[in-house]
Amino acid sequence: MARRFHKMHGLGNDFVILDAREEPLEIDSARARAIANRKTGIGCDQLIVLEPSSLADVRMRIFNADGGEVEACGNAARCVAILTGGGSIETAGGTISGSAHGSEATIDMGEPRFGWEEIPLAYPMDTAAMPVAWEELQNPFAVNVGNPHAVFFVADSDEVELARLGPQIENDPLFPSRVNVNVASLEDQAIRLRVWERGAGLTLACGTGACATAVAAISRGLASSPVEVRLPGGTLTVQWSRGSSILMSGPGTHVFTGEIAL
């Protein structure tokens, strides 16, 4: 059976979006991997499936390119808000909301979580400056913004061998649910960021990574809100203060619509 899909991206972080709100669709890990394959499928960093929700306007399910289902994706949330016109979005990481303004969207990502068991970590430690290191990457800030992130501040994020160190940190037993790895450096009044995404690898942009890094920088007094987060694919603006929700703003681009046999 042919199913219509949308190909969208947020700063180069690209998605295949399938709308299953009216016609149910069974997606498992193998099917998600097949769709995400860039040689034999459509190709994407994440597969997004929209379903009915009893809690929100729409339920958003997120599958990484490796087939694993994950809790949150900020760039995808912006694309979904633009595609659907905005509103509340149920995710496995909690209910968020978005408003669309043409090709731009602002997402209320909810409040960040800092407890070691909320990240989660394998055992208790200070999440604001974890007493751990992987070569030159030391003392990360851990935070959950719907999914788990470790944020490392370095002199020059471009100099870090993230393709090598990223998977080591992602799969370290310290992180029982694995982790997204962020390396950030300060640039003027902004943050320059590269992200190794759990289950997807290096991507041009990561919305939750931008949120996690902004929260870490503001918490450590390295940046003030709102702050620009500059990723390889472009720039996001993140606003946050302690005790409040994270607001993330940036573009989402509709590339094309097509059909796939499922």
Q: Catalytic residues, which ones? A: 73, 206
Q: Is the dihedral of CA 209, 215, 221, 225 positive or negative?
A: positive
Q: What share of the chain is helix, strand, coil (3-state, %, to 5)?
A: 15, 40, 40
Tell me the two tokens of residue 171. Answer: 């799969």
| 144 C-beta neighbours (distance < 10 Å), count | 24
| Helix runs in 69-180, H state only | 74-84, 162-170
**H or E segment to which residue 177 belongs:** none
Pairing of strands 227-231, 190-197: parallel
Which residue matches tokens 């219509």? 4
Tell me the two tokens of residue 114. Answer: 């800092």
Cα–Cα distance for residue pair 234/12, rounded to 1 Å = 8
Tell me the two tokens of residue 227. Answer: 């702050």
With CA atoms as reference, report the closest residue to 30 among 17, 40, 20.
40
CA atoms lying within 13 Å on the CB side of residue 92? 14
